[in-house]
Chain A
C-alpha cells in the first residue's frame, strides 16, 4: 500500500529535502507541498492525503491552527497530522498535540525515522517519537489536573493494561508481545478504548491516561 503525503513548511529548501527523502521510498508518494498553514489546509482537504507533515512556525497561518482545522475536535473526518519542528522543546508542540496532531518529530531526524513516523501516523499503530512524546504529554497531567474526564473503571482490566502500555510509548506489536496476546486483539482493545474515552488517536489516549491517573508523570 502507498502512503500519500502532503508536506507543509515555509522553508523551501527543507520542504524539497523532505520530499526527496520520502519520494525515494517505494511506499510513499508526496502528493503536495505547501508554504504556509492556509495552503496546507486547502491542499490537504482537497487531496485527502494519508499523512500531512506540518511545520509549526509558518506565515499567514501557523501549524497549530492548521492542525486544528485538519484534525481538531470539530473535524468529523480528521487527517493524520505529524508535526515537524526544529526544536523538540518548542512550546507549540504541546499545543499542536492538543489540537489533534498524532505526534511530532525533528525535521533532521533522518530518512528512517521519517518513514517510520509516516507509517505510524497513517496506521495509528504506534506513537511517534515515543519517549519524547510521553515526556511532553506527562506535563499535561499538571496543567490539566482537573478531574478525569471519565473514570478509568469504565475500562476492563485488559483495556487498562493496554492504555498503560500505549502511554509508555509501546507500539501495537510490542503490546501484543508483552501481554502475550495477538496483534488483532491489541488493535481491538485500542479501538474499543478509543470509543469509550472518545479519543481520536494515540496521543489522546496518552493524555487521557495521565488525566485519569492510570499513569503518573
Chain B
C-alpha cells in the first residue's frame, strides 16, 4: 500500500475525521447514525471531487437534501451537521474546474437542498437569503476564476506565438542575406565565364543562380507573411553596452563581459540583446529601492550566458513575473538554451539564461 494521496483524497480523509468527531462531541444531535452517514457521504464526495467535480456536488448536496427530506417525512426535527458545509467548497471547485455548463447541474441540486432545508425548518428570511447567497457566491467565484485562468492562458499563448514568429522572421532575414550573396556571385560568375566561353562552368552557375532565386522567392514570401512593425534585430552585442549607465535617478546599470563574445550567430546575438533590454527594463520598472543593476555577459567555448541581477527589495515571484519573461523564455528555449527568473537569495531579482554557441 502506498501513502501517496492527492490533495482531494487527503481532504476527504480530513472530512471523515472531522465529521466523526462532530458526531461524537455533540450528544444532543438527533439521528446520530444518519448524521454519521451524511458525513461519510460528504467525505466520499470530496474524494470524488478530484476526478469528477460536478458529480461530487450532486452527491454532496444530494445527501444533504435526502437527510433533510427524511427528517421532514419522519416528522422529526431536521438536524445540522456542520461538516456538511464542505459541500459549498465542492460547488466552487466544480465551477472552477468542470467547464461552463456541466456545473449548472450541480448548482440545481444545491438549490434543491437549500429549498428543502428552508421548507424543513422555519428560519428567518435573512438566514434563508444568506444561505442562498453563499451558494451563488461560491459558484460565481469558481466561474470567475475559471475565466481568468482561460484568459491568461490565451495571453500566454499569444506571447509565445509572437515570439516564435519573431524568431522565424529573424532567421529568414539572416538567411536571405546569405542567399542573396550566393545569387549575386553566381550572376557575376556567369558574366565572367560568358566572356571566356567555359560552357560547363556556365551551366552549373546557371543552376546555382536558379536555385538561389527560387530560395529567395520562398524566403521573401515567408518573411513578408511574418513581418510586423517590430524593429530589426540587434546585430551586435554592443547594444548591451549601450544599456550601461544611469537613467535619471534610476539605478546604475553596470555591464561586465567575460570571454570571447565575437562571432556569435545573429539569432543568438539578437536573443541575448533582447533579454538584456527586457531584463533591465523590468528591473527599472519593478525593483523597489534598487541602486544598481548588474549585467554579466560570459562566453565559454560552448555557450553564452547572461545574468541580470538587481539589488531591489526582495520581491515575490508572481509580482515580478509577466509576459515579457514568458517571451524571453520561449525564445531562449527555441534556441536550445535554458532560462530562469526569480527572487535572488538575499535581495533583488535575478534573470539567468544560457544559449549554446554556434560561431559564425
Q: Chain A residues in contact with chain B, CB under 8 A?
A: 11, 13-14, 16-21, 24, 57, 59, 86-89, 107-108, 110-111
Given contacts A87-B220, A89-B224, A108-B213, contact A17 B185 (CB under 8 A): yes
For B184, list chain A residues within 8 Å (CB).
Answer: 13-14, 17-18, 21, 107-108
Give Cα distance in the complex from A17 to B192, angstroms: 11
CB of B177 within 8 Å of the partner chain: yes
Given contacts A14-B184, A107-B180, contact A24 B232 (CB under 8 A): no
What are 11 A-B residue pairs whose CB atoms fall within 8 Å in the complex?
A14-B181, A14-B184, A17-B181, A17-B184, A17-B185, A20-B192, A21-B184, A21-B191, A59-B235, A89-B223, A108-B212
Give Cα distance in the complex from A98 to B183, angstroms: 29
Q: Which of B183-202 contact A (CB under 8 A)?
A: 183-185, 187-188, 190-192, 195
**In the assembled complex, how far is the CB of residue A154 from the closest CB belonging to chain B, in whole angstroms?**
37
CB of B358 within 8 Å of the partner chain: no
CB of B227 within 8 Å of the partner chain: yes
Q: Which residue of B lies closest to A20 (CB)?
A: B188
For A111, list chain B residues within 8 Å (CB).
Answer: 187, 190-191
Give Cα distance in the complex from A144 to B232, angstroms: 25
Q: Which of A16, A20, A111 has the most CB of B within 10 A?
A: A20
Q: Which of B154-196 contact A (CB under 8 A)?
A: 176-177, 180-181, 183-185, 187-188, 190-192, 195
For B110, list chain A residues within 8 Å (CB).
Answer: none
CB of B216 within 8 Å of the partner chain: yes
- Per DSSP, chain B at the interface is helix
B177 with A11: CB separation less than 8 A: yes
**In the assembled complex, how far is the CB of residue B242 from the closest CB belonging to chain A, in whole angstroms?**
14
B191 with A86: CB separation less than 8 A: no
**In the assembled complex, how far is the CB of residue B214 from the closest CB belonging to chain A, in whole angstroms?**
11
Which 7 A-B pairs have CB atoms at the shortest separation, nearest pair first? Answer: A17-B184, A20-B188, A108-B183, A17-B188, A24-B191, A13-B181, A17-B185
For B236, list chain A residues within 8 Å (CB).
Answer: 59
B192 with A24: CB separation less than 8 A: yes
**In the assembled complex, how far is the CB of residue A17 from the closest CB belonging to chain B, in whole angstroms?**
4
Given contacts A11-B177, A86-B180, contact A110 B220 (CB under 8 A): no
For B181, list chain A residues within 8 Å (CB).
Answer: 11, 13-14, 17
For A89, list chain B residues within 8 Å (CB).
Answer: 220, 223-224, 227
Give Cα distance in the complex from A88 to B235, angstroms: 21
Give Cα distance in the complex from A87 to B236, angstroms: 21
A87 with B188: CB separation less than 8 A: no
Give Cα distance in the complex from A17 to B223, angstroms: 24
B224 with A16: CB separation less than 8 A: no
Give Cα distance in the complex from A14 to B184, angstroms: 6
Given contacts A57-B232, A87-B220, contact A108 B191 (CB under 8 A): no
Q: Which of A13, A17, A24, A87 contacts B195 (CB 8 A)?
A: A24
Extra contacts, 19 of them, besides A14-B184, A21-B187, A59-B236 (Cβ < 8 A), are: A13-B185, A17-B188, A18-B184, A18-B188, A19-B188, A20-B188, A20-B191, A24-B191, A87-B223, A87-B224, A88-B220, A89-B220, A89-B223, A89-B224, A107-B183, A108-B184, A108-B187, A108-B213, A108-B216
Give Cα distance in the complex from A108 to B188, angstroms: 10
For A86, list chain B residues within 8 Å (CB).
Answer: 176-177, 180
